[in-house]
Structure 1
Amino acid sequence: MSPLTVTATGPLTTVQDVVGRPGRADLGVGVSGAADRAALRRANRLVGNDEAAAGLEVTFGGLGLRFEAGSAGGPTTAVVAVTGAPAPVRIGDRPGDLHRAVVVPAGAELRLGTPACGLRTYVAVRGGIAVEPVLGSRATDTVAGLGPPVLEAGVELAVGEAPVTPVPWVDVAPEAGLGDELTLGVVLGPRRDWFTDDAVATFLRTAWTVTEDANRVGFRLDGPELARTPERDGAELPSEGVIRGSVQVPPSGRPTVFLADHPVTGGYPVIGVVTDADTDRAGQLRPGASVRFRRVAVPVTSEEFRS
């Protein structure tokens, strides 16, 4: 497959996959991977890739990609799909489509504008982005510095061999709704007991605002202070493991929600954990957006019930 040349990156463009590096927290290595895994999966399915293929995660638009001509006898077109935050697409001098597979001729440039809503747009290329895996993943971990570097203009990216699976050529794939206000399911705990009942009620009824302090690690929220119980006020918590979706409350009393590049441990109490599926939606929240939390119960399997 012909290579791609990055001509522009916008605020941040990285290579990501949906799997990341699970099971390595004991080495200090986080999972990482796409902030909105569902959007990258859809993009890969649209071009006939395996869902685990690496693609590009584009924060707030601005990406430019030139599809270079291949060697003699090689392919002269590429098949791509753009999903996630709805950024305007142009392929050469014509508008492109979102949420469907499109053909890009060799020598043409694909450009993304600023998304109307949401934050992260995903670009999948048939064959996948063929960077060298690190610890089993092609994902860029912006904290640990693992995986390919953050992309810069002028970088060339190799594309893998086209899969045997045919391109589905659907008209338009369904896309999850995005907006400036989201409600995220949250399971309370493991440190819910560090907070007063009033604080927990405030946490669940408040429309929190995403602050400018937001990246792939997570985002801070602005709103009322969540008070600790009297016996926990001023107390310190030994560092313990945290996962994607953990809602940590520092001494300021205002929550921080962890995303894909979160640290593997944290020393502030976690009032709740966003459900795994909703962390994808959380990855689309931009500064200034509003977010609410809806309490959900921990699902109990039959095996857990018998034990």
Structure 2
Amino acid sequence: MTDKAFDKVQFITIEPDLEGQRIDNFLRTLLKGVPKSLIYRILRKGEVRINKKRVKPEYKLKAGDFARIPPIRVAEPNAAPSTKLNKVASLESNILFEDEVIIVVNKPSGMAVHGGSGLSFGVIEALRALRPQAKFLELVHRLDRDTSGCLLIAKKRSALKHLHEQLRQKTVDKRYQALVIGHWPENRFKVKAPLRKNTLKSGERLVCVAEDGKPSETRYRVLQRYDKATLIEASPITGRTHQIRVHCLHAGHAILGDKKYCEDDYNEEFAKKGLERLFLHAFSLSYIHPVSTEKMFHEAPLSEELQSMLKNLS
């Protein structure tokens, strides 16, 4: 790997959109690929100056601040994915909505939201390759790699803050469709069960219901019944890792196609009917637009594969 980047002093005037952001978080976004330890070292040594003064990592930027960033040498990061790659190019046609501050994309199943853990790129890296002029692109929330559907991306930091506050206030409405084993009871409208995240030695993440876990709640309603399965709508009230999947398992109705939480026998039976992926889809998303304050609503239709699966069951 070759030395790269940031090898000259940078002088930056802080724009109003960045006001209130901590200097350490600003540097982590600006200096992508630079280890966190190095960022905190240059702050600790006073090599980063704001208005010619040393600052601590918790310093909050003000509009008009004049920042000096010292030269830094780091290993060359992975190159941005080519826009000619099929997966990257096809993402353009999956964009449901875009304006000057947000993008809503119908994320395909099997595509991670970001690179890492052996993946060269994910949705956010692909969008940055498709939108090279965008100075800021960050995930507002996440979806599991095998889950498809509505994913929200912010194009400005102010929009990201606004949308994160809506998530904290639980005013963002996210609705998923899932096909589960057996007959979901008509009167089972919610699952409240604390969830604890475990990371195995292999790095794989597994979540379980545990008394010492984080409080978690998902609300449900039945959409359609089939012979050995039920199509349900799930609305997560909290946003824990694998929440819908583990709450369905806890209720005795694991999601079909789930290689982590559904028994192989069920997955194999439904694979013969045409289901070769996790049947969990972020079907709709609603929130308040960060600039216009208009109520926004987006729907991502089920893929042809999932629609075909339901027709087979019918």
Q: TM-score, normalised by structure 2?
A: 0.29
Query: Which protein shows a greater Rg?
Result: 2
Q: TM-score, normalised by structure 1?
A: 0.29
